[in-house]
Chain A
Amino acid sequence: MAGIAPVQLGVFAFIFVAVALVGVFASKWRKAESLNNLEEWGLGGRSFGGIITWFLLGGDLYTAYTFIAVPALVYGAGQVGFFTVPYTIVLYPFAFVVMPRLWSVAHRHGYVTPADFVRGRHGSDLLALAIAITGIVSVIPYVALQLYGLRVVFEAMGLGTTTLGTGLPLFLSFVIFALYTFQSGLRAPALTAFLKDTLIYAVVIVAVIYIPLSLGGYAPVFDSARHALAAKPASAGAAFITPSSMYSPYATLAFGSALALFMYPHNVTGTLAAKRRDTVRRNMAALPAYTLLLGFIALLGYMAYAKGIHVSDPNLALPRLFQASFPNWFVGVSFAAIGIGALVPAGIMAIAAANLFSRNIWTTYIRHDSSPSVQTWLARIVAVVISALALLFILAIKTTFILNFQLLGGVWILQTLPALVFGLYTRWFHRWALLVAWAFGIATGTLMAVANAFESSVYAVHLGPLQFSAYAGLIALVVNILVLLILNPLCKLARLPAGADETTADDYEAEVEDDPAPAAA
């Protein structure tokens, strides 16, 4: 498989550039009077209907990295990779209940970011700052991982593993990507998400029908995986069926990740860009279609075994499987699908982080009088800076570090849940209790990651008779909530000022038609 694959590379480059150009010109789509405010640049004018929202959120949740990492985990370790299935199952009942409330209150008050809501609800700039910084810091390694997904594809196409071999195409991809985000804002990923997922659905449907057929059905796929996993040394921790020692890590990883996902700023952005509350509700009911796709993508890791793919880097399992199964041109198409799969979520993530910086750090703390136009220009620049940082990460820092950073990002973002989700239901929690509890959650999560030498997000708890292993993010969240429950009455007893709540109970259920008659827009 040495040497450059010209057909694959040609098809890849053609599709990738064509789709990126669509993104650049997306600013002309549903043209706003001006892109110079964050409602337009950063939220696409809150105008997206059901289908676009479905693709946008789908593009957000299932990324290039998912495509590479999930089959890689399944190939390398077996069953544990399938935690992504219950994860993306329970995700939707949770989001179905919670996210429409966030949409409604954001619609009523013009909130663009999760930190905007926290500020309005709890009357605390400081708590909003904590939420904003957590969001930005957690999202940067996520963007970097998208570029990492791209790099794996470049590597598979024979561009080598050197900085020059994959560095140059990565840099070119970055330029295209920066241009696209800078120019069109959220309209770019929204429009290209449709193309991305059409390609991905096509590729995955072909793959999960065609590959097992060529292998004699699903039974040999499972059988060969079972044997290959059993043959691995015990130290590899590979298993075909979850062993009892892994029950708790499996379940807590799934549950914790599901709670964390919609705390990420880019997924909030995807949700708030919807036109109606009903669009959000309907989408949460329709999005599990993507989970089915994800489940089959995970199975591709097993198909690699059945196809006799042997790679030392599990990340190459899926690209090598495609190369061994498909004609060159279709390999190019599938790699392009992964490549665009990097562009779309990376765009939304960079935009979401830029919105946070512009509104909740710059405008709150540095220049209170920033006009919408200044806020937007700032966000555009920050989006490019964040992408550049991610590129620097991927070129200069070891991949394992980025992976660890991303795991830690998941642990951190989960600690914003009490301020955000509890806040959607009650004002009972005091802003200072929320802030200190957040800090405890972050500290606990970070310490557990350090104790694990960043090698695993599963932490073994030994508290006297209580011994179990669980997802560090969820343990930290429990600590977070316990601290909150202890401090909350103390804050009230001490009569600390609770801050003003600018929302009303009615705001959380509001649909577009419930709006008061609009003032002249």
Chain B
Amino acid sequence: MAQHDPAPEEQRRPKRAVNRGWYALLILPFVATLVPPFYARIEPKLGGWPFFYWWQFLWIVITSLILALVYRMTTRRDKER
């Protein structure tokens, strides 16, 4: 039972219970986008985009993916619509 992957664990859980640990992932966008010293620079460029710009745009996409994942993992799928 030394199961470290939380996904199967979530499926095993009884009705209603969801693993709220997934919510911790939601901290990542705050850390990545609210600390400008991390990303307020020009290099490395990507396709002509300075780092400052592509980093923040990239996090729009990453945040969407994180939210989609957290939504999936914390939704009670066993309940009928």
Contact = CB atoms under 8 A, between A and B. Distances in A.
Interface of A: 79, 82, 85-86, 89-90, 92-93, 96-97, 217-222, 240-244, 246-247, 250-251, 254-255, 278, 281-282, 284-286, 288-289, 291-292, 295, 299, 511, 513
Contacts of B49: 218, 222
Given A242-B52, A285-B68, A288-B67, A86 B57 contact: no
B33 A291 contact: no
B63 A292 contact: no
Contact of B71 (A241, A243, A281, A292): A281
A89 B67 contact: no
Contact of B36 (A90, A218, A247): A247
A96 B64 contact: no
At the interface, is chain A mostly helix, strand, loop or mixed?
helix
Contact-size category for B? 20 to 34
B56 interface: yes
Interface of B: 23, 26-27, 29-30, 33-37, 40-42, 47-50, 52-53, 56-57, 59-61, 63-64, 66-68, 70-71, 75, 79-80
Nearest to A296: B57
Nearest to B80: A513
B67 A218 contact: no
A85 B59 CA distance: 9
Contact of A247 (B30, B33, B37, B61): B37
Contacts of A82: 52-53, 56
B67 A295 contact: no
Contact of A97 (B26, B52, B57, B80): B26
Contacts of A241: 40-42, 50, 52
B60 A96 contact: no
A243 B36 CA distance: 9
B20 to A, nearest CB: 10
B44 to A, nearest CB: 13
A13 to B, nearest CB: 35
